[in-house]
Amino acid sequence: MVSSEPEKLEALREEVRAFLRENLPEKWGTPAYEPLEAGSEEQVALSKSFTKKLYDAGYTAFGVPAEYGGIERPREEIAVIREELRRQGTPMPFVGLGRLVVDTLLQWGTEEQKKRFLPPILRGEVYWIEGFSEPNAGSDLAGVQTTAVRDGDEWVINGQKCWTSGWDYGEWGFLLCRTDVNAPRHRNLGFFLFDCNTPGFSRRPLYQITAEAHAQYGELFFDDMRVPHENLVGEEGRGWYIAMTTLIAERGGGQVSAASGETGGMGLGLFGTRTIGGVDSLIELARKTKHYGQTAWDDSSFRRRIAQIAIENEAMRAYGMRLGKMIMSGSASGNEASMAKLTWTEQGKRRGDMVCEMIGAYSQLMRGDPRAVDNGDLVFSMLMSRGTTIFMGTSEICRNILSERILGLPRG
């Protein structure tokens, strides 16, 4: 597409800013804004409604062909939209894990599946959940034990999944199952889409260290749940390779992320929630936090660590742009997303540790305690940062991928 003229880009920027002023929640971006609990009913409802507004305004659904509900814009315009959304701390929202379904179906889905499932996802109408990890098959995803047995035009599914984000709001889900107990490893899996209202499906919460009243994660149970054969994505026995497409997208390396300028995990987040912010917010916290009789900002060790985070952020942003171009040109191998995921999650853990060092004993106070710093959101983010190094592929797995497939080192 031909680049937009500078005047048109500035007009678009003002248009997006006006849209955000009108459609973001009251007091958004100010200390007075009361953040929503991640995965709560209110947060899910806000994400759905805001995604629909973004779609109607033409500010989302990039990288998807128009026949499946996508919106085409020049890359320069997408960059302006992305910049303004980031400026307001607004992730490019997809409801639940719908973004992963879009990337997966674009590569592996049938025409019927694309036309049926993609438009509602892009409009924010359906909450999607993931059924990958199991109690005995998390990092070793190829070892899943949930089974799918063919019965005519249906598949009968039995088993259990765990650590499912948005477990209780899921309306549709995607699922990795063992379809052949005798076939070789990596050639014995199927990738299915399922309606969460199907008989035989149930779920329950998993509570975690962040001590939230509402559990973000849950367990899924399948007891003779029947899924139509038309909901099998790709071929039987190819589920492992399809799941790899999903995981690459989850780590910020998919086509939709590339088209939206969100490669490398830079666009991840739950709309309406609050986490440890960017460099500016870290500087603000350091300037106002007392630390051994002075502010944390007066301590050169904190300044050096914040400067290091600022440098890493710019490097990650540049890497994300490079990765986006590689994906759009078809030259990305998929391993690059593991590097991005490893970098931003490990940085998040270090950032959380630094914040807790800044606020000292107050880091023991959780949400709900009136004495907690920033309503306890900083401590919550520190605790959650541990989880980010595990989900979507542990840091150890990402390091193994990089060492073997990029550096050419032998298996350990």
CATH number at residue 181: 2.40.110.10
How many domains does the chain fold into? 3
Tell me: do 301 and 386 sit in the same domain. yes
Tell me: do 281 and 351 sit in the same domain. yes
User: How many helices (H) and strands (E) would you count in the chain?
Assistant: 12, 10
Whether 314 is catalytic is: no
Q: Is residue 351 part of a domain?
A: yes
Helix runs in 228-299, H state only? 239-250, 255-260, 279-288
Tell me: do 51 and 143 sit in the same domain. no
Tell me: do 88 and 187 sit in the same domain. no
Domain end call among 95, 116, 144: 95
Q: Is residue 411 part of a domain?
A: no
Domain end call among 196, 214, 239: 239
What whole-number percentage of the chain has pLDDT above 90?
49
Q: Is residue 245 part of a domain?
A: no
pTM for the complete prediction?
Answer: 0.83
Q: How many angstroms separate the CA atoms of 17 and 23, rounded?
A: 10
Q: Is residue 255 part of a domain?
A: no
Q: How many angstroms separate the CA atoms of 357 and 346, rounded?
A: 17
Which one from 250, 312, 357, 404 is the annotated catalytic residue?
A: 250
Vertex 244: Cα angle to 239 and 245 (nearest 5) = 100
Q: For 64-110, how does the pLDDT look when each residue is reduced to its tens digit (9 = 90+)? A: 999 999 999 998 898 899 888 878 877 656 777 898 999 999 999 99
Q: Is residue 353 part of a domain?
A: yes
Tell me: do 231 and 151 sit in the same domain. yes
Tell me: do 331 and 395 sit in the same domain. yes
Q: For 197-235, how does the pLDDT look when each residue is reduced to its tens digit (9 = 90+)? A: 999 999 999 887 766 666 778 999 999 999 999 999 999
- Residue that the structure tokens 């550096």 belong to: 407
Residue type, 260: S
- Phi, psi of 85, rounded to the nearest 5 degrees: -65, -40
Tell me: do 322 and 213 sit in the same domain. no
Q: How many angstroms separate the CA atoms of 412 and 409, rounded?
A: 9
Residue 202's H or E segment, with its range, is strand 201-206
Residue 13's H or E segment, with its range, is helix 6-23
Of the CA atoms within 13 Å of residue 365, those in its CB half-sphere come to 13
pLDDT of residue 266 exceeding 70 = no
Rounded average pLDDT over 342-368: 88
Task: Annotate 16-50 with DSSP letters as a single string.
Answer: HHHHHHHHSPTTTTSTT--PPPTT-HHHHHHHHHH
pLDDT of residue 270 exceeding 60 = no
From the list 163, 270, 151, the residue with the least C-alpha distance to 208 is 163
Q: How many angstroms separate the CA atoms of 326 and 80, rounded?
A: 20
Q: For 339-350, how does the pLDDT look when each residue is reduced to its tens digit (9 = 90+)? A: 888 888 899 899
Tell me: do 233 and 283 sit in the same domain. no
Q: Is residue 29 part of a domain?
A: yes
Alpha carbon 147 to chain centroid distance? 27
141-178 burial, b for 16+ CB within 10 Å, e for fewer?
A: beebebbbeeeeebbbbbbbbbbbbbbbbbbbbbbbbb
Tell me: do 278 and 397 sit in the same domain. yes
Domain end call among 195, 212, 239: 239
Vertex 70: Cα angle to 252 and 342 (nearest 5) = 0
Tell me: do 347 and 388 sit in the same domain. yes
CATH number, domain containing residue 305: 1.20.140.10
78 is in which domain, residue-wise? 6-95
Residue type, 5: E
- Phi, psi of 282, rounded to the nearest 5 degrees: -65, -40
Tell me: do 41 and 143 sit in the same domain. no
DSSP-assigned letter for residue 156: E
- Phi, psi of 46, rounded to the nearest 5 degrees: -65, -40
pLDDT at position 262? 65
Q: Is residue 265 part of a domain?
A: no
Tell me: do 79 and 177 sit in the same domain. no
